[in-house]
Amino acid sequence: MSPSAPNPAADAPSGTPHAVAVIIPAKDEEDRIAATVASAKRIPGADLVLVVDDGSSDDTGVHARAAGAEVVTHRTNKGKAQAMMTGSFAVRNREISELAPGEQVRHRALLFIDGDLEDSAENTAPLAGPVLAGEADATIAILPAQKRAGGGFGFVVGLAKRGIERLSGFQATQPLSGMRCMTREAFTATQPFARGWGVETGMTIDLVWAGMRVREVECDLQHRVTGRDLKAQLHRAAQYRDVARALAVRELRGRVSGGRRPGRDAGGALS
């Protein structure tokens, strides 16, 4: 499966989604990806599970395919944001290929989940419900406290939370949560994604700016928790840099638009 560049006509919304495509960006997850895929396939309404193997040095793609997922492979690591885009365009291409002559494209809801959720992946199902019902354009998972002790000091989360509220007014409970479901229209409104680890922060602001209905949903999920060793601290430094950059870019857009939310006219309608 080779995703192509986006086509605005093909990405145009067509009512509420009829099904769910689960998109799993993954790098070096061979020990967990099979369980994650198997669990994701049990999500009600999910008729497609697609793993984007983002330049793994192990057999992530092999294990994902064996577990029943469709797999798109990046030969080199391109980062989570690009993996999410690759997956969404691959789903779009799949939807076009399914069309009968003269039929309009019917889009799936796009459910993005992490590759390390294992058996808890099916617990992202509550994210899809409001989107499939037309009650929300995008949903964001609120995770419970994770099982393993450790974790960071909250600097990145605090930066993202304050920045999202300052720029959009949205009060995010878990601003860095990567488990999200959205309509194709909502996905299009977030393009281009913020770079690197700023993707979730930028996405939330862009959704609100576009007038999308965003809802947070509690989900019983478990995944790896980053510790406090040197590698973990370097990871957090990169997160902080990317979140700060995503906020700075949107701050500039706000100034250029004269204090109005980009993408809106003075009356608040989408422009």
Q: 121 near 41, Cβ under 8 Å? A: no
2 occurs within a structural domain: no
Distance CA 193, CA 179 (A): 15
8 occurs within a structural domain: no
- Alpha carbons within 13 angstroms on the beta-carbon side of residue 137 total 20
CA angle 78, 181, 158 (to 5 degrees): 70
Q: What is the pLDDT of residue 168?
A: 96
11 occurs within a structural domain: no
Task: Report residue 88 as tokens.
Answer: 């969404």
Q: What is the pLDDT of residue 144?
A: 87
Name residues whose C-beta falls within 8 Å of residue 241's C-beta, 6 or more positions apart in sequence. Answer: 196, 197
13 occurs within a structural domain: no
User: For the whole model, what pTM was predicted?
Assistant: 0.86
User: How many structural domains is the chain composed of?
Assistant: 1
Rounded to an integer, the average pLDDT of 7-31 is 79
7 occurs within a structural domain: no
Distance CA 195, CA 182 (A): 19
Q: pLDDT for 29-46, tens place per residue?
A: 999 999 999 999 999 999
Rounded to an integer, the average pLDDT of 185-197 is 93
3 occurs within a structural domain: no
Distance CA 44, CA 48 (A): 11
5 occurs within a structural domain: no
| CATH code, 205 | 3.90.550.10
Q: What is the pLDDT of residue 236?
A: 85
Q: Residue 117's closest CA among 205, 167, 42, 183? A: 42
Residues of the chain above pLDDT 90, percent: 73
264 occurs within a structural domain: no
Task: Report residue 126 as tokens.
Answer: 């509550």
Distance CA 27, CA 268 (A): 40
Q: What is the pLDDT of residue 6?
A: 47
Quote the domain boundaries for residue 127.
20-256
